[in-house]
Amino acid sequence: MARSNDEVAALFQEYADLISITGGDAFKARVYEKAARAIGGHPADVSTLDAKGLQQIPGVGKSIAEKVVEYVNSGSVSAVEQLRAKIPAGVRRLTAIPMLGPKKALTLYEELGVSSIDELVDAIHAERLRDLKGFGPKTEENILHGIGLLRSAEDRVQLDVAMGLAEDIVAELSRVNGCRRCAYAGSLRRVRETVGDIDILTAAEDSGPLMRAFTELPYVMEVIAQGRTKTSIRTTKGLAVDLRVVPPDSWGAALQYFTGSKAHNIRTRELAVHQGLKLSEYGLFDVESGEKTVSETEEEVYARLGLPWIPPTLREDRGEIEAGLRDELPDLVEEADIRGDLHTHTDLTDGLAPLEDMVAAAAGRGYAYYAITDHGPDLSMQRMTDERMLAQREDVRRLDGAYGTRGKRAKRGGMRLLHGVELNIGPEGDVDWPDDFLAGFDLCVASVHSHFNQGREEMTRRIVRACENPYVNIIGHPTTRLIGKRPAVDADLDAVFAACARTGTALEINAHPDRLDLSDEHILRAKRYGVRFAVDSDAHAALHLAYMRYGVATAQRGWLTKDDVINTWPEARLRRFLDKGRAKGRNKGRARSRDTGRAKRHSTA
DNA sequence: GCCGTTTTCGGCCCGACTGTTTTCAGTCG
């Protein structure tokens, strides 16, 4: 279930949107936006805080604290309700279209009475926008394109949303009497980047109590279908969830079947047929005798087919069957292998938490090392200066080794801190600082944050040039896509991958569920070039550090092993990688043989 | 509506791009 913090954050974000749409004070709207973000990222549950405690959250003052209390007590906030009454919900929905903000949405509503995306499409086709001031043919085109993008993501929800709900349902149903086993299956178990509906599988002799408990969950809006083996519901947020109950001795076959993917299942069933067997959700059967051979665990099912157990993240028929038959499945990287996070922010730029809170939270995850990478000055809205960055470095050095001195890290002297930066890759591939300043950082992430519409050649040259910078270690969120919101930039990724491999630059797998960038398919492609990867949370709040799991799952979907991922490496090996070709920059031309030796070790290490 | 090394008022992230204009408004990151 969503935390109260998330509900309150969503409410304030809506309030901010409504203020903007109704032409209210833009500064006030921004304050609510900021408060929404701060509350969403706040570690303590706001429903447990009083007004005074709430005001300790940065950006929350008296008025907002009162509204939080009002929401916790009554389930609504009258100020928000008043604005809701003025503007149909569909008008706010219009602002989800890229290129269409609050001003244009209000114009469309007031001038044309447009209050939904469908009505907007009709209005465009009827050429009714042509007479509006500020709307030209190009705007029409952009709006239609934006609607297409939005709709393509509409029926699917993001990974973290689906995962939160699924884990909650599994926890609830596991408590029901007679429930022998319970797990989520489907695309969620394969950890695809978006999820269409959630499949929950349970094993029990009697399905009745489970079906009842399922339909009585508090967030069930509608029971779509209810039977003895399968019940389907829709949640208040519009997400469809199927529950299937199978006999305990069919658990393995059912889990295998409902995990999919469809393509993977077709291949496994083919394998069965070739061996005179039949595979279904009830088990693996001998065709001639009709006798069931195995079904209780997935391992048994795969073993009987001549396969090792195949991790769900690989089950896409992308070669896992062949690799399994040859016993050459990769030893996939796991979350426990991750020794540190190499891309994180603090409140020095756009993060929410102070440095020390982030460091403490990272140490709590058991990391051996941790990098702080706030934005450089080229993202001018972040107001970074040399002085501020150097002052942060002092703080980082002071905290180096100070956390993580208990538990398993104790004897190794605490968590090591790396002072880094997230540089901005400018339109020409240049970054925020000259070499001599960059040399002071332990590592540099470099990412594209603007000029997304450059042509393919320019964009490729831009990113490749960043790779060639001897101080750039990681290309952050390499395609800059936002799932369902913004397409990937147009670049020749093969050229980028080759440049990364050649220069010793890692590609990020940004674990934020909005991004998951690189995606699994790009990872598979990049790996062939011998590229290294960094799985990073890009955390802007302590809670975001936990996004790591989605990044690791995406890495698994890209068939990565521990060795492919630089932040699973011991610190010394990582630091050698981060040194890149810097020595070359320091002594131009000198010590060439030593450096090529080093480069060689990197590419094969 | 929040906040304070410009503290109880008066600022508030700011520069750039895009499409529409003919000097600028809206949107974005």
Mean residue pLDDT of chain A comes to 89
Q: What is the pLDDT of residue A379?
A: 84
Q: What is the pLDDT of residue A597?
A: 33
Residue A143 DSSP code? H
**CA-to-C1' span, A3 to B6 (A):** 39
**CA-to-C1' span, A224 to B16 (A):** 49
Q: What is the pLDDT of residue A411?
A: 59
Q: What are the pLDDT digits (tens) for A470-523?
A: 999 999 999 999 887 788 898 999 999 999 999 999 999 999 999 999 999 999
Conformation bin of residue A360: beta by default, left when phi > 0, alpha when psi is -120 to 50: alpha
Side-by-side strand order, sheet with A443-447: A340-341, A369-375, A416-424, A443-447, A474-475, A506-510, A533-536
For range A403-432, the mean pLDDT? 85
A94 nearest nucleotide via C1' and CA: B27
Q: What is the pLDDT of residue A150?
A: 80
Question: Tokens standing for A37?
Answer: 């973000």
**CA-to-C1' span, A57 to B2 (A):** 12
For range A234-246, the mean pLDDT? 89
Q: What is the pLDDT of residue A145?
A: 85
What's the fold here for domain A4-154? DNA polymerase; domain 1 (1.10.150)
Above 70 in pLDDT, residue A387?
A: yes
Least confident of A167-181, A247-261, A407-421: A407-421
Distance CA(A510)–CA(A554), nearest Å, equals 9
Residue nearest to nucleotide B21 (CA to C1'): A134
Q: What is the pLDDT of residue A408?
A: 59
A21 nearest nucleotide via C1' and CA: B26
Above 50 in pLDDT, residue A220?
A: yes
Q: What is the pLDDT of residue A99?
A: 83
Q: What is the pLDDT of residue A149?
A: 77
Domain boundary assignment for chain A: 4-154, 158-325, 335-604
Q: What is the pLDDT of residue A2?
A: 61
Above 90 in pLDDT, residue A455?
A: no
A137 nearest nucleotide via C1' and CA: B19
Above 50 in pLDDT, residue A603?
A: no
A427 nearest nucleotide via C1' and CA: B16
For range A259-288, the mean pLDDT? 90
Q: What are the pLDDT digits (tens) for A431-448?
A: 999 999 999 999 999 999
Q: What are the pLDDT digits (tens) for A14-41?
A: 999 999 998 888 889 989 998 998 898 8
Query: Which of the nucleotides in strand B have any atom less than 7 Å away from a protein CB atom?
Result: 1-3, 11-21, 25-29
Q: What are the pLDDT digits (tens) for A303-344?
A: 999 999 999 999 999 999 999 999 999 999 999 999 999 999
A140 nearest nucleotide via C1' and CA: B19
Query: Residue A476 in contact with residue A422, Cβ under 8 Å?
Result: yes
Query: Residue A577 in contact with residue A569, Cβ under 8 Å?
Result: yes
- A335-604: CATH number: 3.20.20.140
Q: What is the pLDDT of residue A323?
A: 94
Q: What is the pLDDT of residue A142?
A: 87
| pLDDT confidence tier of residue A48, bands split at 50, 70 and 90 | very high
Kindly give the pairing relationship between strand A157-158 and strand A194-195: antiparallel
- A158-325: CATH number: 3.30.460.10
DSSP bridge pairs for A287:
none
Q: What is the pLDDT of residue A263?
A: 87
Match 């809006």 to its residue by tokens.
A221
For range A340-358, the mean pLDDT? 93
Q: What are the pLDDT digits (tens) for A113-134?
A: 999 999 999 999 888 888 888 8
Distance CA(A400)–CA(A416), nearest Å, equals 5
Above 50 in pLDDT, residue A351?
A: yes
Distance CA(A364)–CA(A563), nearest Å, equals 24
**CA-to-C1' span, A192 to B4 (A):** 47
Residue nearest to nucleotide B13 (CA to C1'): A381
Q: What is the pLDDT of residue A406?
A: 67
Dihedral pair phi/psi, residue A290, rounded to 5°: 75, 5
Above 60 in pLDDT, residue A147?
A: yes
Q: What is the pLDDT of residue A137?
A: 87
Q: What are the pLDDT digits (tens) for A578-602?
A: 998 676 555 443 333 333 333 333 3
**CA-to-C1' span, A61 to B8 (A):** 15
Above 90 in pLDDT, residue A365?
A: yes
| pLDDT confidence tier of residue A108, bands split at 50, 70 and 90 | very high
